[in-house]
Amino acid sequence: MDTDTDTRNAAESGGKRRESLDTTAARGASRFEPATGAISTPIYQSSAFRHPALFQSTGFDYSRAVNPTRTELERTVALLESGKYGLAFATGMGALSALIKLYAPGDHIIVSEDLYGGTYRLFTEYYEQYGFSFSWVDTSDTAAIKESLRRHTKALFIETPSNPMMKVSDIEACADLIHRHSPGAGLIVDNTFLSPYFQNPLALGADVVTHSGTKYLSGHNDTLSGFIVHSRDDLEDPLRNIQKSEGASLSPFDAWLTLRGIKTLALRMRRCEENALHIASWLRAQPLVERVFFPGFPDHPQYALSRAQSRGFGGMISFYVKDRAAVPVILKSVSLILFAESLGGVESLITYPLEQTHTAIPETMRLKAGVNDRLLRLSVGIEDKHDLVADLDAAFRRWDPR
Ligand SMILES: *Cc1c(COP(=O)(O)O)cnc(C)c1O
Protein backbone atom coordinates (compact mmCIF):
# COMPACT_ATOMS: atom_id res chain seq x y z
CA MET A 1 0.00 0.00 0.00
CA ASP A 2 2.94 2.30 0.58
CA THR A 3 4.23 4.29 -2.36
CA ASP A 4 7.87 4.39 -3.28
CA THR A 5 9.00 7.68 -1.86
CA ASP A 6 12.52 7.49 -3.25
CA THR A 7 11.74 7.04 -6.89
CA ARG A 8 8.45 8.87 -7.30
CA ASN A 9 9.97 12.33 -7.49
CA ALA A 10 13.23 11.61 -9.20
CA ALA A 11 11.70 11.94 -12.63
CA GLU A 12 14.13 11.42 -15.47
CA SER A 13 12.70 13.08 -18.54
CA GLY A 14 14.27 12.90 -21.95
CA GLY A 15 17.77 12.22 -20.61
CA LYS A 16 17.67 15.51 -18.69
CA ARG A 17 17.30 14.98 -14.98
CA ARG A 18 14.47 16.95 -13.49
CA GLU A 19 15.18 18.24 -10.02
CA SER A 20 13.33 16.38 -7.30
CA LEU A 21 10.47 18.20 -5.60
CA ASP A 22 12.21 17.49 -2.28
CA THR A 23 15.10 19.69 -3.41
CA THR A 24 12.94 22.42 -4.94
CA ALA A 25 10.90 22.63 -1.74
CA ALA A 26 13.95 22.73 0.52
CA ARG A 27 15.85 25.30 -1.52
CA GLY A 28 13.23 27.45 -3.20
CA ALA A 29 13.46 29.01 -6.66
CA SER A 30 16.51 31.23 -6.07
CA ARG A 31 18.59 29.15 -3.60
CA PHE A 32 19.86 32.36 -2.00
CA GLU A 33 19.41 36.08 -2.33
CA PRO A 34 21.90 37.41 -4.92
CA ALA A 35 22.43 40.89 -3.44
CA THR A 36 23.75 39.71 -0.05
CA GLY A 37 23.98 35.93 -0.28
CA ALA A 38 21.31 35.56 2.42
CA ILE A 39 20.23 31.91 2.53
CA SER A 40 16.82 32.77 3.93
CA THR A 41 14.89 35.02 1.56
CA PRO A 42 14.77 38.47 3.21
CA ILE A 43 11.41 39.89 4.21
CA TYR A 44 11.21 42.99 2.04
CA GLN A 45 8.96 44.88 4.38
CA SER A 46 8.59 47.86 2.10
CA SER A 47 5.42 49.18 0.53
CA ALA A 48 7.24 51.10 -2.21
CA PHE A 49 10.54 50.98 -4.09
CA ARG A 50 12.68 53.90 -5.27
CA HIS A 51 13.02 54.37 -9.03
CA PRO A 52 16.58 55.16 -10.22
CA ALA A 53 15.30 57.73 -12.75
CA LEU A 54 12.29 58.60 -14.87
CA PHE A 55 11.22 55.57 -16.95
CA GLN A 56 13.58 53.34 -14.94
CA SER A 57 12.60 50.73 -12.43
CA THR A 58 14.28 48.01 -10.38
CA GLY A 59 11.39 45.78 -11.44
CA PHE A 60 9.65 46.64 -8.21
CA ASP A 61 7.49 49.69 -7.62
CA TYR A 62 4.64 49.12 -5.20
CA SER A 63 4.12 46.01 -3.07
CA ARG A 64 0.46 45.47 -3.88
CA ALA A 65 1.59 44.70 -7.43
CA VAL A 66 4.97 43.11 -6.80
CA ASN A 67 7.23 42.46 -3.82
CA PRO A 68 10.53 40.53 -3.87
CA THR A 69 9.64 38.18 -1.00
CA ARG A 70 6.32 37.38 -2.63
CA THR A 71 7.99 36.94 -6.03
CA GLU A 72 10.38 34.33 -4.61
CA LEU A 73 7.42 32.46 -3.14
CA GLU A 74 5.42 32.70 -6.37
CA ARG A 75 8.34 31.29 -8.34
CA THR A 76 8.85 28.49 -5.82
CA VAL A 77 5.21 27.40 -5.84
CA ALA A 78 5.13 27.59 -9.65
CA LEU A 79 8.17 25.28 -9.80
CA LEU A 80 6.58 22.84 -7.36
CA GLU A 81 3.48 22.69 -9.54
CA SER A 82 5.48 22.50 -12.81
CA GLY A 83 3.76 25.73 -13.83
CA LYS A 84 5.14 28.70 -15.68
CA TYR A 85 3.43 31.32 -13.51
CA GLY A 86 2.50 31.61 -9.85
CA LEU A 87 0.48 34.29 -8.08
CA ALA A 88 0.27 34.60 -4.30
CA PHE A 89 -2.74 35.97 -2.47
CA ALA A 90 -3.57 36.82 1.13
CA THR A 91 -5.73 33.69 1.46
CA GLY A 92 -7.00 30.75 -0.57
CA MET A 93 -10.31 32.54 -0.95
CA GLY A 94 -8.43 35.62 -2.19
CA ALA A 95 -6.93 33.45 -4.92
CA LEU A 96 -10.35 32.05 -5.90
CA SER A 97 -11.93 35.52 -5.86
CA ALA A 98 -9.26 36.67 -8.29
CA LEU A 99 -9.54 33.61 -10.50
CA ILE A 100 -13.29 33.84 -10.98
CA LYS A 101 -12.88 37.37 -12.35
CA LEU A 102 -11.49 35.80 -15.51
CA TYR A 103 -15.11 34.88 -16.25
CA ALA A 104 -18.10 37.03 -17.09
CA PRO A 105 -21.82 37.17 -16.37
CA GLY A 106 -23.58 34.52 -18.45
CA ASP A 107 -20.75 32.03 -18.05
CA HIS A 108 -21.55 28.60 -16.66
CA ILE A 109 -19.11 26.74 -14.43
CA ILE A 110 -19.36 23.09 -13.37
CA VAL A 111 -18.13 22.56 -9.80
CA SER A 112 -17.48 19.51 -7.60
CA GLU A 113 -20.52 19.20 -5.33
CA ASP A 114 -18.35 18.00 -2.48
CA LEU A 115 -15.95 20.88 -1.89
CA TYR A 116 -14.73 23.49 0.55
CA GLY A 117 -17.78 25.32 1.95
CA GLY A 118 -16.21 28.75 1.54
CA THR A 119 -15.88 28.23 -2.20
CA TYR A 120 -19.54 27.27 -2.38
CA ARG A 121 -20.44 30.43 -0.44
CA LEU A 122 -18.32 32.69 -2.66
CA PHE A 123 -19.88 31.31 -5.83
CA THR A 124 -23.52 31.15 -4.71
CA GLU A 125 -23.84 34.20 -2.46
CA TYR A 126 -21.98 36.52 -4.80
CA TYR A 127 -21.30 35.26 -8.30
CA GLU A 128 -24.75 33.78 -8.90
CA GLN A 129 -26.14 37.20 -8.13
CA TYR A 130 -23.72 38.74 -10.65
CA GLY A 131 -25.15 36.52 -13.39
CA PHE A 132 -22.84 33.51 -13.28
CA SER A 133 -24.37 30.04 -13.14
CA PHE A 134 -22.99 26.93 -11.50
CA SER A 135 -23.82 23.24 -11.66
CA TRP A 136 -22.87 21.18 -8.62
CA VAL A 137 -21.82 17.75 -9.78
CA ASP A 138 -20.15 14.60 -8.47
CA THR A 139 -17.02 15.13 -10.57
CA SER A 140 -15.68 11.67 -9.75
CA ASP A 141 -18.41 10.58 -12.20
CA THR A 142 -17.30 11.66 -15.69
CA ALA A 143 -20.72 10.89 -17.18
CA ALA A 144 -22.35 13.29 -14.70
CA ILE A 145 -19.97 16.06 -15.84
CA LYS A 146 -20.86 15.37 -19.48
CA GLU A 147 -24.56 15.67 -18.70
CA SER A 148 -24.01 19.05 -17.06
CA LEU A 149 -22.15 20.66 -19.96
CA ARG A 150 -23.99 23.57 -21.55
CA ARG A 151 -23.26 25.71 -24.55
CA HIS A 152 -21.85 28.50 -22.35
CA THR A 153 -19.88 26.25 -19.97
CA LYS A 154 -16.52 27.96 -19.55
CA ALA A 155 -14.86 26.04 -16.75
CA LEU A 156 -14.82 22.87 -14.73
CA PHE A 157 -13.70 23.42 -11.14
CA ILE A 158 -12.75 20.34 -9.15
CA GLU A 159 -11.33 19.42 -5.79
CA THR A 160 -9.62 16.07 -5.77
CA PRO A 161 -9.57 14.36 -3.35
CA SER A 162 -12.78 16.13 -2.46
CA ASN A 163 -13.50 17.84 0.82
CA PRO A 164 -14.57 16.11 2.99
CA MET A 165 -15.68 12.87 1.30
CA MET A 166 -12.30 12.06 -0.28
CA LYS A 167 -13.75 11.24 -3.70
CA VAL A 168 -11.16 11.28 -6.44
CA SER A 169 -11.84 12.84 -9.83
CA ASP A 170 -9.93 11.82 -12.94
CA ILE A 171 -7.94 14.97 -13.76
CA GLU A 172 -6.87 13.85 -17.24
CA ALA A 173 -10.41 12.82 -18.20
CA CYS A 174 -11.81 16.08 -16.81
CA ALA A 175 -9.30 18.14 -18.81
CA ASP A 176 -10.05 16.20 -21.95
CA LEU A 177 -13.78 16.57 -21.52
CA ILE A 178 -13.79 20.31 -20.96
CA HIS A 179 -11.26 21.02 -23.72
CA ARG A 180 -13.25 19.00 -26.23
CA HIS A 181 -16.40 20.80 -25.21
CA SER A 182 -15.05 24.23 -26.07
CA PRO A 183 -11.51 25.36 -26.88
CA GLY A 184 -11.87 28.39 -24.61
CA ALA A 185 -13.00 26.40 -21.58
CA GLY A 186 -10.61 25.21 -18.91
CA LEU A 187 -10.08 22.88 -16.01
CA ILE A 188 -9.32 24.39 -12.59
CA VAL A 189 -8.08 22.09 -9.83
CA ASP A 190 -8.01 23.10 -6.17
CA ASN A 191 -4.95 21.07 -5.19
CA THR A 192 -4.94 22.01 -1.50
CA PHE A 193 -5.54 18.50 -0.13
CA LEU A 194 -2.58 16.71 -1.73
CA SER A 195 -0.24 19.69 -2.15
CA PRO A 196 2.13 19.87 -5.12
CA TYR A 197 4.29 17.28 -3.44
CA PHE A 198 1.75 14.53 -4.11
CA GLN A 199 -0.11 15.82 -7.17
CA ASN A 200 0.57 18.12 -10.12
CA PRO A 201 -2.67 18.73 -12.03
CA LEU A 202 -1.05 20.94 -14.71
CA ALA A 203 1.00 17.96 -15.86
CA LEU A 204 -2.28 16.03 -16.24
CA GLY A 205 -3.87 18.67 -18.47
CA ALA A 206 -5.40 21.14 -16.01
CA ASP A 207 -5.27 24.80 -17.04
CA VAL A 208 -5.08 26.32 -13.59
CA VAL A 209 -4.22 25.04 -10.11
CA THR A 210 -5.28 26.80 -6.93
CA HIS A 211 -4.15 26.33 -3.36
CA SER A 212 -5.03 27.41 0.07
CA GLY A 213 -1.40 27.86 1.10
CA THR A 214 -2.76 28.17 4.64
CA LYS A 215 -2.80 24.38 4.69
CA TYR A 216 0.04 22.04 3.64
CA LEU A 217 2.23 24.59 1.86
CA SER A 218 2.67 26.73 5.00
CA GLY A 219 2.08 23.70 7.14
CA HIS A 220 2.29 25.17 10.65
CA ASN A 221 -1.16 26.64 11.31
CA ASP A 222 0.50 30.02 11.64
CA THR A 223 -0.36 31.95 8.50
CA LEU A 224 -2.86 32.29 5.67
CA SER A 225 -2.00 32.36 1.97
CA GLY A 226 -3.45 31.38 -1.38
CA PHE A 227 -2.13 30.61 -4.87
CA ILE A 228 -2.96 30.43 -8.52
CA VAL A 229 -0.49 28.50 -10.69
CA HIS A 230 -0.77 28.09 -14.46
CA SER A 231 1.20 27.93 -17.70
CA ARG A 232 -1.21 29.85 -19.94
CA ASP A 233 0.47 32.89 -21.48
CA ASP A 234 -2.96 34.30 -22.35
CA LEU A 235 -4.05 34.26 -18.68
CA GLU A 236 -0.94 35.75 -17.08
CA ASP A 237 -1.54 39.45 -17.80
CA PRO A 238 -5.24 39.34 -16.90
CA LEU A 239 -4.49 37.51 -13.64
CA ARG A 240 -1.64 39.89 -12.66
CA ASN A 241 -3.94 42.80 -13.39
CA ILE A 242 -6.69 41.34 -11.20
CA GLN A 243 -4.17 40.67 -8.40
CA LYS A 244 -2.88 44.25 -8.58
CA SER A 245 -6.34 45.80 -8.89
CA GLU A 246 -8.13 43.81 -6.21
CA GLY A 247 -5.38 44.11 -3.64
CA ALA A 248 -5.59 40.69 -2.02
CA SER A 249 -1.84 40.18 -2.54
CA LEU A 250 0.10 38.26 0.11
CA SER A 251 2.07 40.37 2.61
CA PRO A 252 5.89 40.07 2.67
CA PHE A 253 5.94 38.53 6.15
CA ASP A 254 3.26 35.94 5.34
CA ALA A 255 5.09 35.20 2.09
CA TRP A 256 8.22 34.53 4.14
CA LEU A 257 6.36 32.28 6.59
CA THR A 258 4.96 30.31 3.67
CA LEU A 259 8.42 30.01 2.08
CA ARG A 260 9.77 28.80 5.40
CA GLY A 261 6.98 26.25 5.69
CA ILE A 262 7.58 24.95 2.17
CA LYS A 263 11.18 24.04 3.03
CA THR A 264 9.87 20.99 4.93
CA LEU A 265 6.94 20.21 2.62
CA ALA A 266 8.43 16.89 1.48
CA LEU A 267 9.16 15.64 4.99
CA ARG A 268 5.81 16.75 6.32
CA MET A 269 3.77 15.26 3.47
CA ARG A 270 5.45 11.90 3.79
CA ARG A 271 5.04 11.83 7.55
CA CYS A 272 1.39 12.98 7.40
CA GLU A 273 0.69 10.21 4.90
CA GLU A 274 2.46 7.54 6.92
CA ASN A 275 0.48 8.59 10.00
CA ALA A 276 -2.78 8.77 8.04
CA LEU A 277 -2.35 5.25 6.63
CA HIS A 278 -1.88 3.95 10.17
CA ILE A 279 -4.75 5.90 11.70
CA ALA A 280 -7.18 5.17 8.86
CA SER A 281 -6.60 1.43 9.30
CA TRP A 282 -7.01 1.71 13.06
CA LEU A 283 -10.23 3.70 12.68
CA ARG A 284 -11.65 1.08 10.39
CA ALA A 285 -11.34 -1.59 13.07
CA GLN A 286 -13.22 0.43 15.71
CA PRO A 287 -16.75 -0.70 16.61
CA LEU A 288 -17.83 2.95 16.98
CA VAL A 289 -16.79 3.76 13.41
CA GLU A 290 -19.22 3.00 10.61
CA ARG A 291 -17.13 3.96 7.61
CA VAL A 292 -13.76 5.53 6.86
CA PHE A 293 -13.07 7.64 3.77
CA PHE A 294 -9.42 7.56 2.76
CA PRO A 295 -8.03 7.23 -0.78
CA GLY A 296 -5.16 5.06 0.47
CA PHE A 297 -7.41 2.07 1.12
CA PRO A 298 -7.07 -0.46 -1.72
CA ASP A 299 -10.88 -0.80 -1.68
CA HIS A 300 -11.46 2.96 -2.03
CA PRO A 301 -13.54 3.26 -5.26
CA GLN A 302 -10.84 5.36 -6.94
CA TYR A 303 -7.75 3.74 -5.45
CA ALA A 304 -6.28 2.78 -8.83
CA LEU A 305 -6.94 6.26 -10.18
CA SER A 306 -5.27 7.82 -7.11
CA ARG A 307 -2.19 5.71 -7.64
CA ALA A 308 -2.12 6.61 -11.31
CA GLN A 309 -2.50 10.38 -11.02
CA SER A 310 -0.98 11.14 -7.60
CA ARG A 311 2.23 10.26 -5.81
CA GLY A 312 0.58 9.88 -2.43
CA PHE A 313 -2.73 9.72 -0.60
CA GLY A 314 -2.25 12.68 1.72
CA GLY A 315 -3.05 13.12 5.37
CA MET A 316 -6.80 13.73 5.33
CA ILE A 317 -9.30 11.17 6.62
CA SER A 318 -13.06 11.45 7.09
CA PHE A 319 -15.22 8.96 8.99
CA TYR A 320 -18.78 8.33 10.11
CA VAL A 321 -19.35 7.33 13.69
CA LYS A 322 -22.32 5.01 14.22
CA ASP A 323 -23.95 7.19 16.85
CA ARG A 324 -24.47 10.96 16.54
CA ALA A 325 -24.24 11.18 20.34
CA ALA A 326 -20.57 10.23 20.15
CA VAL A 327 -19.67 13.36 18.16
CA PRO A 328 -19.68 15.93 21.00
CA VAL A 329 -17.98 13.45 23.34
CA ILE A 330 -15.12 12.83 20.91
CA LEU A 331 -14.66 16.51 20.09
CA LYS A 332 -14.54 17.38 23.78
CA SER A 333 -12.34 14.44 24.81
CA VAL A 334 -9.50 14.56 22.32
CA SER A 335 -6.57 16.35 23.90
CA LEU A 336 -3.53 15.86 21.68
CA ILE A 337 -5.65 16.22 18.55
CA LEU A 338 -7.26 19.65 18.60
CA PHE A 339 -10.85 20.41 17.70
CA ALA A 340 -10.35 23.19 15.14
CA GLU A 341 -11.38 23.93 11.58
CA SER A 342 -8.30 23.88 9.45
CA LEU A 343 -5.97 21.26 7.98
CA GLY A 344 -2.56 20.58 6.60
CA GLY A 345 -0.44 21.61 9.58
CA VAL A 346 2.08 19.76 11.72
CA GLU A 347 -0.56 19.65 14.46
CA SER A 348 -3.36 17.09 14.07
CA LEU A 349 -6.82 18.64 13.99
CA ILE A 350 -10.31 17.19 14.07
CA THR A 351 -13.25 19.00 12.46
CA TYR A 352 -17.01 18.56 12.36
CA PRO A 353 -17.73 19.55 8.73
CA LEU A 354 -21.48 19.92 9.26
CA GLU A 355 -21.01 22.80 11.71
CA GLN A 356 -17.72 24.23 10.52
CA THR A 357 -16.33 23.97 7.04
CA HIS A 358 -19.62 23.14 5.32
CA THR A 359 -22.25 25.33 7.04
CA ALA A 360 -22.73 27.40 3.88
CA ILE A 361 -23.92 24.37 1.89
CA PRO A 362 -27.69 23.70 1.93
CA GLU A 363 -28.82 20.57 3.78
CA THR A 364 -30.11 18.59 0.79
CA MET A 365 -26.88 19.16 -1.11
CA ARG A 366 -24.75 18.37 1.92
CA LEU A 367 -26.58 15.13 2.56
CA LYS A 368 -26.40 14.15 -1.09
CA ALA A 369 -22.64 14.63 -0.92
CA GLY A 370 -22.50 12.58 2.30
CA VAL A 371 -21.86 15.31 4.88
CA ASN A 372 -24.21 14.13 7.62
CA ASP A 373 -24.29 14.75 11.39
CA ARG A 374 -22.07 11.73 12.09
CA LEU A 375 -19.16 12.80 9.89
CA LEU A 376 -15.84 13.81 11.41
CA ARG A 377 -12.74 14.90 9.49
CA LEU A 378 -9.18 14.42 10.65
CA SER A 379 -6.17 16.34 9.42
CA VAL A 380 -3.33 14.10 10.49
CA GLY A 381 -0.19 15.94 11.56
CA ILE A 382 3.38 14.84 12.10
CA GLU A 383 3.16 13.69 15.73
CA ASP A 384 3.92 10.08 16.66
CA LYS A 385 1.17 7.92 15.13
CA HIS A 386 0.82 5.79 18.26
CA ASP A 387 0.25 8.88 20.38
CA LEU A 388 -2.44 10.00 17.94
CA VAL A 389 -4.17 6.61 18.06
CA ALA A 390 -3.98 6.59 21.87
CA ASP A 391 -5.64 10.00 21.93
CA LEU A 392 -8.47 8.89 19.64
CA ASP A 393 -8.84 5.64 21.54
CA ALA A 394 -9.18 7.48 24.85
CA ALA A 395 -11.76 9.83 23.32
CA PHE A 396 -13.77 6.91 21.86
CA ARG A 397 -13.74 5.19 25.25
CA ARG A 398 -15.23 8.28 26.86
CA TRP A 399 -18.33 7.72 24.77
CA ASP A 400 -18.45 3.97 25.17
CA PRO A 401 -16.92 2.78 28.46
CA ARG A 402 -17.04 -0.83 27.14
C1 LIG B 1 -9.07 26.22 3.32
C2 LIG B 1 -9.44 25.92 1.93
C3 LIG B 1 -9.74 26.95 1.03
C4 LIG B 1 -9.76 28.40 1.46
O5 LIG B 1 -8.49 28.86 1.81
P6 LIG B 1 -8.21 30.01 2.89
O7 LIG B 1 -6.74 30.09 2.91
O8 LIG B 1 -8.84 29.56 4.17
O9 LIG B 1 -8.87 31.23 2.38
C10 LIG B 1 -10.02 26.61 -0.28
N11 LIG B 1 -10.03 25.32 -0.69
C12 LIG B 1 -9.74 24.31 0.16
C13 LIG B 1 -9.76 22.91 -0.35
C14 LIG B 1 -9.44 24.58 1.49
O15 LIG B 1 -9.18 23.57 2.32
Decide which of 247, 262, 277 is a domain's last residue. 262
Asked if residue 157 and residue 22 are part of one domain, the reply reads yes
What confidence tier does 102 reach under pLDDT thresholds 50, 70, 90?
A: very high
Asked if residue 205 and residue 57 are part of one domain, the reply reads yes
Q: Is 402 helix (H, G, I), strand (E, B) or coil?
A: coil
Asked if residue 200 and residue 273 are part of one domain, the reply reads no
Q: Tell me: the pLDDT tens digits for 239-252?
A: 999 999 999 999 99
Asked if residue 252 and residue 188 are part of one domain, the reply reads yes
Q: Which atom of ligand 1 is nearest to the CA of 95?
A: 9
Which residue of the set 27, 64, 121, 263 is catalytic? 64
167 carries an active-site annotation: no
What confidence tier does 236 reach under pLDDT thresholds 50, 70, 90?
A: very high
In this predicted structure, which of 132-141, 219-228, 366-375 has the lowest mean pLDDT? 366-375
Asked if residue 292 and residue 257 are part of one domain, the reply reads no
Report how far ligand 1's centroid is from the alpha carbon of 178 (Å): 24
The angle that helices 68-80 and 252-262 make with each other, rounded to 10 degrees, is: 30
pLDDT value at residue 327: 97
- The 8-class DSSP code of residue 247 comes to -
Q: Find the CATH number of the domain harbouring 275.
A: 3.90.1150.10
Report how far ligand 1's centroid is from the alpha carbon of 93 (Å): 6
pLDDT value at residue 11: 40
Task: Assess whether pLDDT exceeds 50 at residue 392.
Answer: yes
Decide which of 198, 229, 262 is a domain's last residue. 262
Segments forming the whole domain that contains residue 235:
5-262
Asked if residue 332 and residue 379 are part of one domain, the reply reads yes
Q: Tell me: the pLDDT tens digits for 275-313?
A: 999 999 999 999 999 999 999 999 999 999 999 999 999
Q: Find the CATH number of the domain harbouring 140.
A: 3.40.640.10
pTM comes to 0.95
Total domain count for the chain? 2
Asked if residue 105 and residue 235 are part of one domain, the reply reads yes
DSSP lists the bridge partners of residue 316 as: 379
What confidence tier does 401 reach under pLDDT thresholds 50, 70, 90?
A: low
Closest CA to 65 of 81, 49, 42, 84: 49
64 carries an active-site annotation: yes
Report how far ligand 1's centroid is from the alpha carbon of 34 (Å): 33
Which residue of the set 70, 107, 114, 116 is catalytic? 116
Pocket test for ligand 1, best of 166, 212, 217 (most atoms within 8 A of CB): 212
Asked if residue 108 and residue 254 are part of one domain, the reply reads yes
Asked if residue 253 and residue 317 are part of one domain, the reply reads no
Residue nearest to atom 5 of ligand 1 (CA): 92
Asked if residue 179 and residue 120 are part of one domain, the reply reads yes
Asked if residue 202 and residue 70 are part of one domain, the reply reads yes
Asked if residue 333 and residue 211 are part of one domain, the reply reads no
Decide which of 238, 262, 286 is a domain's last residue. 262
Task: Assess whether pLDDT exceeds 90 at residue 402.
Answer: no
Q: Is 401 helix (H, G, I), strand (E, B) or coil?
A: coil
* Pairing state between β 153-159 and 289-293: unpaired
Q: Tell me: the pLDDT tens digits for 3-44?
A: 443 333 334 445 578 899 999 999 999 999 999 999 999 999
